Amino acid sequence: AQKITQTQPGMFVQEKEAVTLDCTYDTSDQSYGLFWYKQPSSGEMIFLIYQGSYDEQNATEGRYSLNFQKARKSANLVISASQLGDSAMYFCAMRGLNYGGSQGNLIFGKGTKLSVKP
Amino acid sequence: GAGVSQSPSNKVTEKGKDVELRCDPISGHTALYWYRQSLGQGLEFLIYFQGNSAPDKSGLPSDRFSAERTGGSVSTLTIQRTQQEDSAVYLCASSFSGSQNLYGYTFGSGTRLTVV
């Protein structure tokens, strides 16, 4: 079974500073993908960044980077130069890549609420 | 369409009534998912449709919940005899499938269901 653990219910960061949101996962799949989503107060789920289990380099997308440590089964999200608009819930998720169906569903963590202080 | 469209955006219903929630996925996306998000919680998988295959209903919490997907496009999630614990945001997502799906899903804005 797959499981995502986000141990930080809430985080505060000063505007313009960097912040790391933790995510650990558990899976028996050999090939899988890791995702981060942002959910602002409006409720929509916004895809941020993706990391494949066989990718040798950490994924980066603008101010977002994913610190992928496969041996430790961690996939932390790093947001650089925080902005007030970054205040939102952040969800880590994963899915197996070899097949569709229920085993290929995105499994989500419980999320981290990030608050950026001016 | 340009994105995943869900309707209604908000629904208030009386306990015991049936409700229907609609999802119109992105054109060309063969996979469609329903999730439920209770207040302050993560996303709970409900049901998954893939092309013409039988849906995976393993996440449905009770037999009061059902879903259809007509013509491989629009999906309707039906909750019969609603209970207060059904109050949540119901999110629909669609994606390409198989090797094409490397970047997760595109979510709709959700339907906020309140059972009073």
Q: pLDDT digit string (tens) for B78-102? A: 999 999 999 999 999 998 765 445 5
Residue A79 has pLDDT above 90, yes or no: yes
Residue A101 has pLDDT above 60, yes or no: no
What number is the average pLDDT over the span A46-72?
93
B111 CA: distance to closest CA in chain A (Å)? 10
Q: Which residues of B touch A50 (CB under 8 A)?
A: 102-104
Residue A99 has pLDDT above 60, yes or no: no
- Cβ of B42 within 8 Å of Cβ of A37? The answer is no
Confidence at A102, pLDDT banded by 50, 70, 90: very low
- Cβ of A105 within 8 Å of Cβ of B45? The answer is yes
Residue of A nearest to B101 (CA): A97
What distance in Å separates the CA atoms of residue A22 and residue A61, rounded to the nearest whole number?
17
- Cβ of B104 within 8 Å of Cβ of A108? The answer is no
- Cβ of A43 within 8 Å of Cβ of B112? The answer is yes
What number is the average pLDDT over the span A73-89?
97
Residue B72 has pLDDT above 50, yes or no: yes
- Cβ of A111 within 8 Å of Cβ of B58? The answer is no
* pLDDT tens readout for residues B15-43: 999 999 999 999 888 889 999 999 877 89
Residue A74 has pLDDT above 60, yes or no: yes
Candidate from A77-86, A100-109, B67-76 with smallest mean pLDDT: A100-109
Tell me the one-letter amino acid at A114.
L
Residue A25 token pair: 């996962």
Average pLDDT of chain A? 91
A23 CA: distance to closest CA in chain B (Å)? 14
Instruction: Identify which of B31, B41, B107 has the shortest CB distance to residue A45.
Output: B107
Q: In degrees to the nearest 10, what's the CA dihedral of B37, B40, B107, A29?
A: -80
- Cβ of B58 within 8 Å of Cβ of A109? The answer is no
**pLDDT greater at residue B4 or residue B52:** B4
Q: What is the DSSP string of A39-104?
A: E-TT---EEEEEEETT-SS--EETTEEEEEETTTTEEEEEE-S--GGG-EEEEEEEEESS--SGGG
Chain B: which residues have CB within 8 Å of chain A? 31, 33, 35, 41-43, 45, 48, 50, 56, 58-59, 89, 91, 93, 97-98, 102-110, 112
Instruction: Identify which of A33, A42, A109 has the shortest CB distance to residue B42.
Output: A109
